Amino acid sequence: MKILVCISHVPDTTSKIKFTSDGHSLDKDGVQFVINPYDEFGLTKALQLKEEHGGVVSVITFGDSDVEQTLRKALAIGADDAYRLDGVPNDGIQTSQELAFFIKENEFDLIICGQESIDYNGGIVPGALAANLNLPFINACIGLEINDNVANTVRETDGGKETASANLPIIIAGKKGLVEEKELRIPNMRGIMTARSKTLKVIELSGAKSLSESISFSAPPEKKAVKIISSENIEELVRLLNEESKVI
């Protein structure tokens, strides 16, 4: 089975987010970048499926040379080969089209994305990719099993879940549940050593255009200082929630 894991390269979850003084972009100074947490679940799932069914796990990121450290990490975790689409993505549509262009030329049985990138929180790429490739799509996928040529999946709904199945090839957008937190794989020494000899191929873009653009970024408004209420005076909290915040 040929599996492709689409990985976005995002600020670590503990990062303090600041923007450049012109407000045009993220200030990357001092920010650590990691594999998008949703994609980490997908990568581990791909490796498990390979162990079960045999095959190859490839990883791909659309980004400039900075993202290679993230791809190397994915190789160290166990992916067999890596691809970098050489450019800077501007929006989800452009990203999905570039990924689709690559996938059409390389054919995969299973394409695993994350439910969203934790940087821009777009949640656009996987569905757009599925429509572009005309493949079945399961968003917020929290369970996946492959039997013969059929993917049996579980999708998260608002406050519940439902099952869905489709023939391969299929695109899923995964999240925690696809594998459990404790199953997540991390690079070990051997992995880091062998990652160096694995291929990381740089691919030229096909020239897809973005359809939206960022104009500016700003920080959210600051909260006012907290009002501490004595635990002996809970009625006061109820009064404030009613009269001041008007939420009850």
Ligand X SMILES: Cc1cc2nc3c(=O)[nH]c(=O)nc-3n(C[C@H](O)[C@H](O)[C@H](O)COP(=O)(O)OP(=O)(O)OC[C@H]3O[C@@H](n4cnc5c(N)ncnc54)[C@H](O)[C@@H]3O)c2cc1C
Contact residues toward ligand X (CB under 6 A) are 13, 37
Out of other proteins, ligand X, ligand AMP, none, what residue 174 binds, judged by CB under 5 to 8 A for its kind, is none
Position among 163, 188, 194, 199 found at the interface with other proteins (CB under 8 A): 163
Distance of closest approach, residue 13 Cβ to ligand X, in angstroms: 4
- Give yes or no for residue 137 binding other proteins (CB under 8 A): yes
Whole-angstrom distance, CA of residue 26 vs CA of residue 239? 41
Q: Which is nearer to other proteins, 13 or 147 (CB)?
A: 13
- Give yes or no for residue 116 binding ligand AMP (CB under 6 A): yes
Q: Which is nearer to other proteins, 93 or 103 (CB)?
A: 93
Out of ligand X, ligand AMP, other proteins, none, what residue 197 binds, judged by CB under 5 to 8 A for its kind, is none
- Give yes or no for residue 162 binding other proteins (CB under 8 A): yes
Nearest-CA neighbor of 142 among 112, 119, 118, 120? 112
Helical axes 68-77 vs 37-53, angle rounded to 10°: 40
For 156, residues 6+ apart whose C-beta sits below 8 A from its C-beta are 140, 141, 142, 175, 177
Out of ligand AMP, other proteins, ligand X, none, what residue 89 binds, judged by CB under 5 to 8 A for its kind, is ligand AMP
Cβ atoms of 81 and 198 closer than 8 Å: yes
Dihedral over alpha carbons 144, 146, 149, 153 (to 10 degrees)? -20
Reading the block at residue 198, the tokens are 């694995």
Which residue matches tokens 């594998």? 179
Q: Which is nearer to other proteins, 54 or 220 (CB)?
A: 220
Nearest-CA neighbor of 45 among 22, 21, 78? 78
39-58 positions binding other proteins, by CB under 8 A:
none
Q: Which residues bind ligand AMP (CB under 6 A)?
A: 6-8, 36, 38-39, 60-63, 89, 92, 95, 113-114, 116-117, 120, 122-126
